[in-house]
Each structure stands twice: as structure tokens, then as C-alpha cells.
Structure 1
Amino acid sequence: HILSICRALTETMEHNEMLFRIGGDEFVLVSPTTGEAELEQRLERVRADLIEATSDDKAPMISSFSFGCSRVDPLAGDTRRQMTMDADRKMYRYKLMHRVQQPKDSDAPQHPIAEQFPCNDRVFQAISMSSETRYPFILNLDTGESQWSVNAVRDFDLPSQHPFNSVDMWLARVHPEDRDNVRSELDMVVNGTWHFHYMQYRVMDATGAYALCDCTGYRLDGTDTEPNMYVGIIINRSLADTTDSVTGLGDIHALINAIGEMRRVARKAGFIAIKVDDIAEVNARFGFDAGDRVLAESAACLMDCSRGKGRLFRSTGPTFVALFDELGPEAIDELASEIERFLGSPVLIGSLEYQPPIRVATLHLDGVDRQPVSILNELKARLKEAPQVPGTKLD
């Protein structure tokens, strides 16, 4: 199946295009094509031809694939991370909207719904896309089969993305001191006594160390045509899941942890807060992908401006905070001025070269002697009073 799709793709490739397999059933096609639409149309034709060629009775199954195209222009400041994230999101959306229904084998024995694998890919992808957690899961309570994210398989050394006997498999990884309590609660979910489950306990990761995890799930009672399901997410508090998915920076949790560490040793600290204005308007007019691009490009420019002298975080929404522990007030103010002058190259949104308006504020403490929330609230107040560095007007 994979080979037939690869042959179809390579037969239509231009001489200066390259196709790579990056793992499993995922491939990357690198093309110098100047526009996404041209490449999308070509891939759509390949997909349609594949479906038509394999839809007769001779083919064992219908061949198809999903794709997402993203254009990157390094001269405009576009980054590789921006391109891959954009293409990945588009591919998942395409997959949700263009699923091919495989024909049923009339001679094959038909099993009741509870015996079939019910971890619907569409449902799982929706959960994955609507949550920033690394570990969403779906469990069929009638069969014990489940679906887990690739991150969960790697980080917790699970046997596969679709393991059977999932409850026992997971309990085997729970710390012995926590196992009985976890087993008791999960038993009540399985037998229908409880429909909501939340616990914090320790789970062995792929390195053999125990990670503190928050586990939250809901039981969905089955019907005559649907199985009993348990759907949830797991957050690894040892990792803190503190990477912002749009920018790749540490998120608000990582920022609070960093400030807390400095408070424990009473170290001096300098802060630069940056707010990108008009993101709500960009989202409303051009879509959330455009807003994410603006934030990702702003983050890349902030990294360049900080030159590795500090740690950069995405605080909340369109707000970033840079944390420095070795620079004095004058150096902090100088960096803030540089950020005001050079924040990002214009982001191309359709035919519009968009330069985001920003606000910048600084704060220097001889010793971090306050709670992180208090410091963040002061930065928020200073940003509110800071003059706006104007950008492109969205009339």
C-alpha cells in the first residue's frame, strides 16, 4: 500500500523535487514550487487517480493519502519550524475532511460493534488538535483496546499506539505505592459507577524514572451501535508539558517555575514583557493559522534579539516574557529598545505584508522576593501603560 502511493508520487514529481520518508506512514515532499495551490492541485490529482485505480474489485483495498502544503520563504524570515507545523496542521485537517471509506468484505464474518476497534481516528485527531497535552488517549472499555499518541508511546515505552489490555498495561507502569488507589478508581470507571476520573500519581517513563502525572478522563456510555468508551488526557508534571505548541517556547507554567526558582535563591532578575497587539483582529480576518504565524515569527525575532542572554517564554495569549539574571537595568533597557526597533520581518498573509504592532515594558528587581503571579501582574500593568509601537493597520 505504501509502495504504491510512493510510486504514484514519484511518477509525478518534477526533476528538482525530493521525497523523504520521515517515519511510519509519513512522508515529506520538498518542492521549489512557488505557490501552495499549484502543489495542492497536483497532489489532489494524484490522490484522485489512486482512488479510481484501486476502487475496482481487483484491488485489496482503496489506496489514498492525506496531505498538507506549506510555503516557506527564508528571505521573508520564514522558519523551518513554522513550515512543518503549518503543513502538519493542514494535513490533519485534510485527513478529517477527506477520509476514504474502505469497502466491506461481504464474505468476512461480521462482529458486533463492541468487538470491533472503536477508537475512531477522527475522534482521536479531534482530541489531539483541541488539546496541547502530549498524551490524549481513547479506551474501548468493552474490548480493552485503546489508542494513544506517538508521544505517549515514546515517553512511556508503550508497546504500540493501539495496545490491548490497556488498563493492566497502564497499571503496570504506575508506582507500586499508588497502584491500588488507581486500580480502585479505574475499576469504578470500567463498571460504570463513576463517569469522571481525576487523579495525580506517579508513572514510570521510558527511562525507568517515575514521573508525576495528572490523569483526567470521562466515561462515555455505549449504545446498541457504540461501545463504552473512556476518553481522557494525561499531563506529565515532571515535564510540566511546558512547551508552547505554536512558538516552541516555554509556556506560562515554565515561566512561573523559572521565576519561582529565582525567588528561592533571592537572585536579581530583569524582565522584558512584549505584547503583540491586534492578534484577535488577525485571527478574525485571516484565520487562526495567520495569527499563529505572526506569533511564531515574533518569537523567532525575540530569540534573535535576546542573543541567548536570557530565557524567553510565551506567557499568555499574545504576550511574551524574557527573563534575564545576568544583565543590569541599562542592558535590559537597551535590549528592550532593540526589540522595539527590530521585532520581526513583515509576515506575508495572503498578499498583505503584515507588521504587528507591539508594546514593550521592562522590570528590574535587585532580588526576586515576590510570588511569580505578583511579578506577572506588574508586567501586565506596565504593558498596558506602555506606548504602542505601530505596525500595519487593519482597517
Structure 2
Amino acid sequence: MVAGPNLVHQSMAVLDVQYRCVAKGAEEMVDISTAATATATATATAATVVVTPPGSPVFRPASELDMRESDAIPDVALEVNVLPFVPSIRSGSYTDIGPRRFMEDEHICIDDLSAHMGSLFKCPAPSAFYGVFDGHGGPDAAAFIRRHAIRFFFEDTGFPQSSQVDDVFLEGVENSVRKAYLVADLALADECTVSKSSGTTVLTALVLGRLLLVANAGDCRAVLCRKGEAVDMSQDHRPIHAAEHQRVLESGGYIDDGYLNGVLSVSRALGDWDLKLPPGTPSPLIAEPEFRQQLLTEDDEFLIIGCDGIWDVMSSQHAVSIVRKGLRRHDNPEQCARELVMEALRLNTFDNLTVIIICFTSEQQDSSPSHNRREAPVLRCCSLSTEALCNLRSWLDIDRGD
């Protein structure tokens, strides 16, 4: 093997085979990808190629270059691996009333938050915002939060402005989102068009650069798919959960047959002011969100956000498997959301259904080990003896009628 020769490229049509006889030692042949050529030029690194020793002629049709490994490729793969992961965000959603008489769910999907907010809004790129609002006691509370979500989360609560994610920025974002939940809850108390018995659970997801931040108050759930494995990004706030059970009792509430104060199946929600004590006093039902965060890598494929109608009848891993299979088949997050809803209906869910699928790659990628290493295609070549070359030339001449 010799490095640093002049590069000679050749091609071959499948139905019109061309050939050339090269005297061994007189010319050296190489065929590398455009990416390899660009990388070699940019780094001023000599390419490693296949060189024929002096002697007899050799026939090398380009279609046979895949029969021997090229040494130029590993260097290209190494250059690709050092590039930082940047999420490429796209989403799809689907809702269904299910077996209920009324639809009480609402949701919001913003794949490009910066563009949505305008030029004065400064945040890390890419940026996105999603929310699922699962109403109860009527649709009014969920509809109100959905209608005013941008104001609550980004305009009235001092959302921090920065192009970089660091500890100070992250703390500011969490404080702002927490404040948004509490301000929205108080707004429901003052809103005369919303019944005091109407409430909603709220789960929101922010993507800021590589940071994924999930905030949850209620029993909606966010599930991250990491190399095919389900990673829960939220905790269902139900009265039967140990930590929530203790908090409810300590705040003066009680649990009857799994229901908070014998009425509500969740222990955190916005609204429901007929169950809450006056503002500023401890209450068994709270609007305080819990946070989970994740620094996204190329192993993180997509996020599922769904209301409890999904999770009542299937596990997080079951949902991830359905969506992953769908993305590999048609690469359409909206269709995956519909398929997940259809599966919940098949399993006899008894609630409204809302699902959002957020993909972090431009297209669904194979998660095999070889793909994760981003290996480039292997190039191969072979040589024919002088006798084989002459025979092949004779056959081609006969086919052409020469």
C-alpha cells in the first residue's frame, strides 16, 4: 500500500460495461467517496490507496470496487465522530375523543420557538416547546391554559434570554417555568369564565439546544427513547404514589379508594379551586411542577408526550416500541402518534387520548453498533489475470458485434 499518488476516477454503466487495460506500475487506481476527498483536502492528509505492483496488466471495472477494503475510509469516520450532536427537531400529534362523551384534552406544538416568538426572543438553537393539557370537570381549564400558554410561559414570567445553556441559564429557565405553572393556576382562580370545579393536568417539554427540560403537574407522561429503551421523563402524580400520598396527608387531605379527598384521581393539577384552600395556604392539591432534564445525544431518538388515557393501558416501553417501529417503516411522527392512539383504543382505554411525538433526528436512523460508529461504506477492488482480461474482452467484442 502506498500513500500520496495522483487520483484517477473511473465509472461504469451497468448495461454498457467499459474497461481499460492498465499496465501494472504505470498507473495507480483509487475510488473514494466525496466525503473522504473533502476531508483529505481539508486536513492535508495523504490518501491511502490500492497500488498495483509492476508486472502484468490489470482490469478493474468500477462496479467491482466493493470487493476490497479501502484504507482511506477510517480517517473520514474519525472526522465525523468529533462533530457535536445537534438535534434536528420535528414533531407530529394526534388526538381522539375515545369512549368519552366530551373532549377535554388540549395540546400545543411549536417546533421552532425562536421563530414563533420573534427576533427579540433570544434562546439557544434549536428551540422548541410542547405541552399536553388534560382537562377534567369540563374542557374550560385546559382550553384556557392552551390559549394563554405563550403568555404564561414566555412573556409574563421573565423567561431568561441567552444563546448558551449553562447552570445560571438552566436555573433561570426552571424558575420561570415553575412560576408559569403557579401564575396560570392563580389565573384560573380569577377567571370568571372557568368553573371552579374545572381543572387540568399540565406537562410541558422545552428543547433548548441539546437540553431537554420536562415539567409536570399531574398524570400525563413524557417518555424518552434512547437506543430503543424507554426512559421516563416524568412521574405520574397520583394519590397512591408514596411521596404524593405522604404529602397529601401532611397537608390535611385524605385519600379514599385512590382519590384525593374522595374526588380527584390526581394529586397535582391547575385549577380545581373548589378543592384548594385559599391562595398562600398549604393545600393537598397543588400546581407545583416537578422537573427532569436530559442533555440530548445521538442515542436519544424521540420523545413521547401523552395524556393518561395512553398510559392507563400500556407501559412506557410498549409505547416506545410502537413508535420506533413506525418511524422505521414510514418516518412520519404524526402517523406514529395516530398509531399509538389506535393501539390504546384497541386495548380498551376509557379516556380521551392525546399524543405528541418529537423526533430529534432529521430521519430515523438505524441503531445498530456499526451505525453508531458512523462507519462509511467499505470500498473494495480486485485484479484479473491477463488471460481473464483477454477472455472478457473477447466476450464483450462478440456482444457488440465487432
Higher percent of residues as helix:
1
Higher relative contact order (CA 8 A, sep 6+): 2
TM-score by length of 2: 0.23
Give 1 or 2 for the bigger CA radius of gyration: 2
TM-score by length of 1: 0.23
